[in-house]
Amino acid sequence: MNFLLSIAFVLTWSSGFIGAKLGAGSASAVTVLMWRFLPLALVLAVVALTVARASWRGFTARDAVRQAAVGALSQSGYLLTVYYAIQLGVSSGTTALIDGTQPLVAGALAGPLLGQYVSRTQWLGLGLGVAGVVIVTAADATGGTEAPWWAYLVPFLGMFSLVAATFLDRRSPNPVAPAVSMTVHCVTSAVVFTALAVGAGAATPPAETSFWVAISWLVTLSTFGGYGLYWLILRRSGVTQVNTLMFLMAPVTALWGALMFGEPFGVQTVLGLAVGLAAVAVVHRGKDAHRGKGAAVTVVRSPRDDATSPPRDDATSSPRDDPASPPPQPESASRKSA
């Protein structure tokens, strides 16, 4: 069952990048995102006022502000940059690979920012991950795309937005139910994207059927499927499993984009993806070796870690445990969609 859930998660999360490409063909990024989150916010608000009312007990104004900030960073900031990059011509596979380096970057920053131990092996893994991104980006940029050079910097803004959201989320002193945080995040995103779309004069949706196909795709597959399975697997298998699966998004998305949109998928792209996957293997091997030596690792844990996280060996805890990892959407039990 866990294997099947993992496959479903990789496919549905990757579908977000493909959905962004579908939407980019019929409307601007803010239009697609506005109409993606408006129905989501309405549905979740109705659920919050009916069947999930008990989950809101103890939810304070301070919690609401923090969760709104996390949602603005992890959904609004992240998705806007992903959609904008794809709209500019960056391939979905390259965007997914840049996004996939988030756990490595967050893990590395946990050292200088939080005083946590970051081994030389982890730094090596980060270096390999960056090398993989450079190789794939170079292949994409020379593969006949019309994207300007600076467009390849845009996904990095989204990736760092996720990192910032993760650190903010992990420092929350109070555990928040997933249904509550998911609702706050989506309502926040709906407000942000609606304001941007109205301000840009792009709030009116196009009449093309392809636009509504893209919206249905994004709401059903990417949000309920991708984000829902993200938290389900997180609670069942832990953050290490989710972090590992996040690095499978890039090759799956690159292959999907090549088959569906004819995006570049040559030898250089394959090499870059292989280097990116090697980075994951190096980081995880380093963790195993570190555990075998019985090395002590300083772990910064907040009260919510003890309240919501499964038991684990601190010496092998992942970046998300400590506190950084894939996209922090609702309350963390925990790699965020495009």
Q: What is the pLDDT of residues 192-226, one digit of tens each?
A: 999 999 999 999 999 889 899 999 999 989 888 88
* Average pLDDT over every residue of 49-68: 87
Question: Residue 282's pLDDT is what?
Answer: 78
The whole-number pLDDT of residue 303 equals 35
> Which helix (H) or strand (E) covers residue 116, if one does?
none
What is the Cα–Cα distance from 227 to 238, expressed in whole angstroms? 15
Residue 175 has pLDDT above 80, yes or no: no
Instruction: Tell me the CA distances in angstroms from 54 to 59, 179, 305, one per residue in order.
Output: 10, 10, 22
State mean pLDDT over 311-330.
Answer: 39
Whether 134 and 270 have beta carbons less than 8 Å apart is answered as: no
Q: Tell me, what DSSP letter sits at residue 15?
A: H
| Residue among 82, 103, 102, 80 at smallest CA distance from 92 | 82
Average pLDDT rounded to a whole number, residues 93-105: 79
Mean pLDDT estimate for the chain: 77
pLDDT at 173 over 80: no
> For residue 61, how many other CB atoms are within 10 A of its CB?
7
What's phi and psi for 323, nearest 5 deg?
A: -140, 75
Average pLDDT over residues 287-296: 54
Q: What pTM was computed for the model? A: 0.72
